[in-house]
Structure 1
Amino acid sequence: MSFDPKSKADKAQLYPILRALSDLDPRKTPELLMDDAIGSPVARGHDYVRNMRRGEIAATYATLIHQWLLEHHFDLAHRLAPEIFPETPEQRWQAIVDERARSDRLQLVLVPLTMGIVERESQLRPVDTTIRLGERFCFELDSEAEGYVMALQGVRGQWHNIPIGPNGEVSAPIQSGQNRLPQKSDGKLDPLIEQYDEGAHTFVLIFSEAPDIPLNIAQLGAWVKASDCIVHSATVTFIS
């Protein structure tokens, strides 16, 4: 655990971050920001600020403040106190996606409940910005070359692999031009479905000419930086 709410040294690092946030918004004192983090006004004595600077606050309050800063002000907190706000592999991967991902060649398309033996173009409808929970969809990638792709789904800071190979493999072979994934071994679409998790989801397809794309996020970030690969992304919002 990077933050110990029982450590006075760790807790003492919280106040300078609240102070820096209050400098950005004069309407908010560090004490009011603390109330925002905890969710209700906190009763304070006249030495409370001094005690907070020393890390002499309740572990429960410190935990809530740390979590609030992590969720709402991570960049500033990481810059001022990287020891208790370290960058996670997921955050490093998100930064790579933000910097490198292309959005011009990947889209999601809705797949009707009934499909013929041969899919018809008129049956597949590109997703605009939203997909309803329970609707079937697939990826449509216009690739510049033949190779392999691996798929990831990102939601609320967490990333998950999506097996898209014809027999459940993590990666799938693709051709130059239009590709719809996932597919079964017979070439028919094998649509995806999201049933429970509302909100914004980012889908990433990583293209490589070789199939050995790392699965682990921590390894994947370093591999992408060092490899001649292409990162494609598309973001949609799932609604009920």
Structure 2
Amino acid sequence: MIDWLAASVAQRQALYRAVKRLLDEEGLSWGDLYRDTLGQDYPPGHGYEDNFRAGRIARKKAHAIYNWLDERYPARAKALEAALADEDERQHTGEHWRRFLSEHGRYARVRAVLLRDADLGIVSFARGEPLAGPVIPFGASFGFEIDSPIAGMALALQAVGGAWYALPLREDALTDVVLPGVQMLPRQLGSDTPYPLSEEAHDGRHGFVFLIGQAEVIAPLVSIVPVGRPMAPAELDQIADQFLAAETEWHMLRINLMFRA
């Protein structure tokens, strides 16, 4: 089942094609559609259909239009969902995500911080290298110092053995609010105190990615980022597509660290 409130550009384009075919076959107008789905008693403005065709229609509107389609023409809605699921399985192999990382990730503005104790704070700093950061012993407490270029929200992922996992930034949440400038992540609940991380199972190289953007870009991704299991290629591709379609400023900060037993 597609979450239309987090629909990608490609999914909204597919919704347009399904609706356009329906309107043509049923003799309905775009004015009829927008009146029934969005409560607009006036014809849509110039460029409305162009935005929908390009997949730029607002997700809330796409959600309302799909609900109308599902209620009035359930067979067509089911066919659209099935077609998108098949397309997703064929096309989303993780290639979007890999290209997204290589073209937009910056090995800058993030460094590993070794923590002596969660309550005692920072005792040493280690600047991350483009390909590998400092070697961190198993069991050592560490965190990340982020120099955010913008105010917004952050979502973090970590790569271990070729698989990507969520890295929660609060004890009770995947994301956290960030301000422009330097701050520690993850943080303890209800404070700015660093929440210590440690590695005790997987040695070798780990990759970390911090995605920073506005709430309307990051918040919808929380529902597709699993906790406790590797992310599927389609889920990673959806993250890439979401950011690439964003109309607001965003950044991706990267760092690789080495862990040893």
Instruction: Look up the match of 2:126.
Output: 126
What letter matches 1:173 in structure 2?
V
Instruction: Look up the match of 1:236.
Output: 257
Candidates 171, 194, 198, aligned match of 1:189: 194
2:118–2:195 Cα contact (<8 Å) kept: no
Q: Is 1:225–2:244 an aligned residue pair?
A: yes
What letter matches 2:138 in structure 1?
L
Q: Is 1:160–2:181 an aligned residue pair?
A: no
Query: Superposition pairs for residues 3-22 of structure 1, below 5 Å?
Result: none
Instruction: Please report the RMSD computed on the Cα atoms of aligned residues, expressed in angstroms.
Output: 2.1
Q: SS of the counterpart of 2:97? A: helix
Segments of structure 2 that go 5 or more residues without pairing to the other structure are 1-89, 128-132, 226-234
Q: SS of the counterpart of 1:186? A: coil
Change (3 A) 1:90 1:194: farther
How far apart are the structure 2 equivalents of 1:162 and 1:103? Answer: 18
What letter matches 2:166 in structure 1?
N
1:213–1:220 Cα contact (<8 Å) kept: no
What letter matches 1:125 in structure 2?
F
2:211–2:253 Cα contact (<8 Å) kept: yes
Change (3 A) 1:114 1:149: closer
Q: Which has the larger radius of gyration?
A: 1
Change (3 A) 1:136 1:89: farther
How far apart are the structure 1 equivalents of 2:220 and 2:180? Answer: 19
How far apart are the structure 2 equivalents of 1:88 and 1:109? Answer: 35
| Structure with greater helix share of residues | 2
Query: Superposition pairs for residues 133-152 of structure 1, below 5 Å?
Result: 133-152=138-157
How far apart are the structure 1 equivalents of 2:115 and 2:209? Answer: 19
Deviations 1:202-235, CA, capped at 9 Å, x for gaps: 1000001214151332310211221232111000
What letter matches 1:183 in structure 2?
R
How far apart are the structure 1 equivalents of 2:141 and 2:126? Answer: 12
Q: Is 1:112–2:116 an aligned residue pair?
A: yes
Deviation at 1:186, TM superposition (A): 2.4
TM-score for the superposition, normalised by structure 1: 0.57
Segments of structure 1 that go 5 or more residues without pairing to the other structure are 1-85
